[in-house]
Amino acid sequence: MSKFPKFIAGTALATLIAAPAVADVYGLGREALPEEIAAWNVDISPDGSNLPEGSGSVEDGEILFSDNCAACHGEFAEGAGNWPKLAGGDDTLANDDPVKTVGSYWPYLSTVFDYVHRSMPFGAAQTLSYDDTYAITAYILYSNFLVDDDFVLSKETFMDVEMPNADGFIIDDRAETEYTQFTEANACYENCKDSVEITMRATVLDVTPETEEEASVQDASEEAPVEVAAAETEAPAEEAAAPAMAEPDPELVAAGENVFKKCKACHKVGEGAKNGTGPMLNGIIGHPAGAVEGFKYSSGLQDAAAGGLVWDQAAMTQFLTKPRDFIKGTKMSFVGLKDQEDIDAVIAYLSTFE
């Protein structure tokens, strides 16, 4: 018997897997090289197979987490704003509002390591070393009270960690619990109910986005390119006041818009831009640092601002190359941009927002 549920109605497993004696082979593609396979074949399985050599401590993980993850997931992995919570929620799975976190819900530690290594931090995925990934994973476990503060996670200690909800999952049982009762035989066609009452209305909660308002937002974004163009033609007048900054070249601006995708998760620009994980960046170029109203800057950035830091081309270039080297203690969890071209482009793009 297959361990899988019977999901392919009417198809005998045997006919599918009995591959034809001679399958057609077309001779297309080429053999994958070992180093290519090593580069992509990095998924980690529950039994720990494919775990890389390396290790990392809770202590190192705390610093790494604070630098790379806390902006969205909170200093203690408790989650910031609407971003995912990674810790807490113990014993809530049967409650009205279960809180699903690594500690309360995830059945396998391999999944944490694998996901953090391949998909986080958001906006700079696949940049963490194996040692750093071990350390951050150890810190997430610590935040969930699953290991002590002197714990070191490595290939060797990996399988010792017990995940609280490891036994919390069952394989799809709809075939037994649902399909047997939701059937033709049980379907009613006439006089199925004595009376029908409305028991709940969506308009009471009223959480539907307003269609008209959304439509006008849509219009605004369609008009955006026009606004950018207008801003460009107005630029010379502004320039007299602001420190000399070359008029942005439209091609560079367009390239910068593309680079800005790396920033978008945390920064907004344009009409109505609000502060998010990072401050909104309208009018940032040529203006003093740490001055966006309503944003809580790190003390590092506040100090730099007090020292008179202005976001001119040179300062922005240094900051965006290595944010944490340029401003010690900044809470901008972003690795930096490698290419000078990208930096120039994103600065040109930002300079179009007043």
Interface pick for other proteins out of 66, 105, 161, 245 (rule CB under 8 A): 105
Residues 311-350 that bind ligand HEC (CB under 6 A): 311, 320, 330-334, 337, 346
Segment contacting other proteins by CB under 8 A, of 34-42, 239-247, 291-299, 317-325: 34-42
DSSP conformation class of 239: H
Residue 316 beta carbon to other proteins: minimum distance, rounded to whole angstroms: 23
Cα separation, 55 vs 15, whole angstroms: 47
Residue 261 beta carbon to other proteins: minimum distance, rounded to whole angstroms: 7
Residue among 97, 98, 74, 93 nearest 85 (CA)? 74
Site string for other proteins, 185-224 (x = CB under 8 A): -xxxxxxxx-xxxxxxxxx-xxxxxxxx-xx--x------
Cα separation, 108 vs 127, whole angstroms: 23
Q: Which of ligand HEC, other proteins, none is residue 28 near (CB under 5 to 8 Å by kind)?
A: other proteins
57, β-bridge pairs: 152
- 212 CB-contact burial (10 Å; exposed 0-12 / middle 13-18 / buried 19+): exposed
154, β-bridge pairs: 55
Site string for ligand HEC, 70-109 (x = CB under 6 A): -xxx---------xx-x---------------x-------
Structure tokens at 214: 């959304």
Q: Could you say whether residue 179 binds other proteins (CB under 8 A)?
A: yes
Write 15-20 long-range contacts (CB < 8 A, 24+). none
Peptide bond connecting 243 to the previous residue in cis, omega within 30 degrees of 0: no
By the criterion CB under 6 A, which residues form the site for ligand HEC?
68-69, 71-73, 83-84, 86, 102, 112, 115-116, 120-123, 136, 262-263, 265-267, 277-279, 281, 284, 289-292, 297-298, 300-301, 311, 320, 330-334, 337, 346
